[in-house]
Structure 1
Amino acid sequence: MSHSHGSHDHGTANYNRAFIIGITLNLALVVFQAISGVLAHSLALLTDAGHNLSDVLGLLLAWGANLLASRPPTQRFTYGLRRTSILAALANAIFLLVAVGAIAWEALQRFHEPAQVSGGVVIGVAIVGILVNTGTALLFLSGRKQDLNIRGAFLHLASDAIVSLGVVLAGIVIVVTGWNWIDPVVSLVISGVIIFGTWELLLDSVKLALDAVPEGLEPLAVRTYLTELPGVTQIHDLHIWGMSTSETALTVHLVIPGNHPGDDFLCRVSKELHDQFGIEHATIQVEQGDPNHPCGLEAEDKV
């Protein structure tokens, strides 16, 4: 078996500073929103505070996974701890959905027992939320397309800014009309926004945890490329999966009758897999197709 891999880019850029800033600002915002929400009797503010707290925990998870994923392999963990980034994204998505369920239930209870809400306080605090969430979301803007963890952080913070805008609008309506029932309505809308923004993250995380081909990579295109390589008469046992939220791995058997194509061929194929498809880690087994020694993994349904 021959093994080769392209130039590795383990994860995205170093986001330690972005994580520290984001966690600090959002934690301060959570305390500010929670105190203001209690004083103003605003469930919308408490909802936003709860969501921002989940974002803080999510940022901590993503940051921890980002640090663990950069650790080198060991004899026991031969791929290192890259997969922690997938587990962190999955845990983050599940936690958010559970939190949303609790928030939505509380909002429904408020319809039966509406509370007096201080609209002015709601507006002021929510404006602060818009500024904090927009600023911290921009810290993760550049890496959102390369890493599911970074994308999750960006989407949550960006959605928080939109949610805070909704809270501002609710506060304005309460000040103008005195309709306190707008507060739980906004809470339910906020819950819907969170579910909408989190659902894709949950699905992508589950798929990666189940070794699915990462989103944005077309397996048929990879198969076609490998099949059309010079001298290749057949390919089998092709597997493509995410080693982490930012790295893709591939294993494949190439049937090349005659002599072994050499290391130059393997290096070229690995580089092209990296450049064309973003596959960081390619393991290629070359076979000559001897019918007297068939490969046990040749059948398409064999794993």
Structure 2
Amino acid sequence: MATHSHNHGRRQGSAQGPAHGHHHPHGPHDHHAHAPVAGWRYGLAIALNLAIVAVQLVAGFALKSTALLADAGHNASDVLGLILAGWAAWLMTRQGSDRRTYGYGKAGVLAALANSLLLVFACGALAFEAVDRLIHPPAAPPPGGMVMLIAGIAVVINLMSGWLLMGGHPEDVNRRAAVVHLFADAAVSGGVLLAGAVILWTGAKWVDPIASLGIVVVILATTWRILWQSLDMALDAVPRGIDVAGVRGWLARQPGVTDVHDLHIWPISATETALTAHLVVPAGSGDGLIESVTDGLKREFGIGHPTIQVERTDCDQCEGAS
């Protein structure tokens, strides 16, 4: 029966025997190599959206426009989403601690999940309002010209806010959720603008709720992917784009490796991926294996935080296997 000894305190190639390698190109507790979007951008986007919410609320009540009021509610949910995203971005800049050794990278994932759920909830409320207006149409449509003006301002502000938050790491799901949320808001406001134009030309009462239902479908389609991606990351699922079988096969093909087990891959944050694995190698072989494997995992799969444990079979077993 083969025996495997484990020594978590020794590096591969020492005279002490088997090794546990934890090799990184960065220092301890440094799990935010990709800086998030600057906090002032979140602050400015929040301020701009708060301003448009106030304008839409005042105009909606003054013009008796449920479309503007619904858009104001949607923009208000956007503000809350931005606050969550900004808070998470700030947390991601903090160093880890003895209790939170991975830092606060998962805050971005949780914020993205909350942001996506918030948007789905807002879509449900908007769809309910649209159906209600189809069943119980108002006595008269709101003035189309003013609706177009207010909605046009909202479109510009939402697009500007989305542009402010573009950049950063391309796989930052927290930032991406905030940007999608803003662009979805611009689409909602664009639908209100279009509805205002048709109302201005035709006076039809059904245009606004039909346009709102169409926009809800578009928003849900764009939000669904981020919702499930952030849920997967919150549950430590293997990040999308990484093939576990491919990683396992690649590890098994490394020189001297006879078996791979206890392979786990999960996201540390919205931008970093961790891996742990046990590699079985015959005694007396495997020099330089950990450094080679960690470099290769980063190069081939984008896994920048691997922890590799080498298990050595005893010499009798090695000779029997040969």
TM-score by length of 1: 0.88
The residue identity in structure 1 corresponding to 2:173 is: L
2:179 is matched with 154
Q: Does the Cα contact within 8 Å between 1:43 and 1:187 map onto a contact in 2? A: no
TM-aligned CA deviation for residue 191 of structure 1? 2.2
Q: Deviations along 1:34-63, whole A, 9 cap, x unmatched?
A: 222222222222222222211111111111
Instruction: Summarize deviations over 1:265-294 as a string: whole Å, max 9, x none.
Output: 32332233223322121110001135999x
Q: Please point out which of 1, 17, 20 is paired with 2:43.
A: 20
CA distance in 2, matches of 1:36, 1:216: 46
The one-letter code sitting in structure 1 at the alignment partner of 2:275 is L
Query: Aligned letter for 1:284?
Result: I
| Alignment pair present for 1:169 and 2:194 | yes
Letter in 1 for 2:24: H
Task: Say which is worse superposed, 185-194 or 163-172, in terms of deviation.
Answer: 185-194
- 1:247 equivalenced with 2:244 (yes/no): no
Counterpart position of 1:3: 22
Q: Which residue identity lines up with residue 207 of structure 1 in the other structure?
A: D
Q: 1:51/1:11 Cα in 2 relative to 1: closer, same or farther (>3 Å)?
A: farther
Task: Name the structure 1 match of 2:87.
Answer: 64
Conserved in 2, the CA contact under 8 Å of 1:260 and 1:286?
A: no
TM-aligned CA deviation for residue 11 of structure 1 = 4.2
1:194: which partner in 2?
Answer: 219
Distance 2:168 2:189 in 1: 24
**Cα distance, 1:73 vs structure 2:** 1.9
Is it true that 1:48 corresponds to 2:67 in the alignment? no
3-state DSSP class of the match of 1:77? coil
Letter in 2 for 1:27: L
- Compute the displacement of 1:98 (Å): 1.9
Q: Does 1:286 align with 2:305?
A: no
Give secondary structure in 2 for the equivalent of 1:87: helix
Question: What do residues 209-252 of structure 1 show as CA deviations (whole Å, max 9, x unaligned)?
Answer: 11111122222332232122111121111111111111111111
CA distance in 2, matches of 1:213, 1:292: 38
Per the alignment, residue 269 of structure 1 pairs with: 293
- Counterparts of residues 131-146 of structure 1 (less than 5 Å): 131-143=156-168, 145-146=170-171
Deviations 1:168-188 (A, max 9, x none): 211111011100221222222
Q: Distance in 1 between matches of 2:33 and 2:71?
A: 34
Give the aligned partner of residue 17 of structure 2. Answer: none
Q: Which consecutive unaligned segments of at least 5 residues does structure 1 have?
A: 294-303
Provide closer, same or farther for how the CA distance between residues 10 and 185 of structure 1 changes in structure 2, counting only shifts above 3 A: same
Quote the offset at 1:144 in angstroms.
Answer: 6.5
Structure 1 vs Structure 2: percent identity of aligned residues? Answer: 45
1:93–1:201: 8 Å Cα contact kept in structure 2? yes
What is the letter of the counterpart of residue 95 of structure 1? L
Q: Count residues in correspondence.
A: 292
Amino acid at match of 2:301: F
**Contact 1:12 1:146 survives alignment (8 Å):** no
Between 265-274 and 18-27, report the one with greater CA deviation. Answer: 265-274
User: Aligned runs of 1:69-84 on 2, under 5 Å?
Assistant: 69-84=92-107
> Could you tell me how far 1:123 is from its partner in structure 2?
0.6
The 3 A distance-change label for structure 1 pair 96 and 34 is same
Q: CA deviation at 1:141?
A: 2.6
Please say if residues 32 and 105 of structure 2, whose CA atoms lie closer than 8 Å, have aligned partners that are also in contact. Answer: no
Question: What's the counterpart of residue 7 of structure 2?
Answer: none
Question: Which of residues 98, 118, 122 is equivalent to 2:147?
Answer: 122
Q: Name the structure 1 match of 2:53.
A: 30
Q: Normalised by the size of structure 2, how large is the TM-score?
A: 0.83
Question: Contact 1:48–1:163 (CA<8 Å) still a contact in 2?
Answer: yes
Cα distance in structure 2, aligned partners of 1:182 and 1:126? 15
**Which letter maps to 1:93?**
S
Letter in 1 for 2:238: V
- Alignment partners' CA distance in 2, 1:245 and 1:187: 32
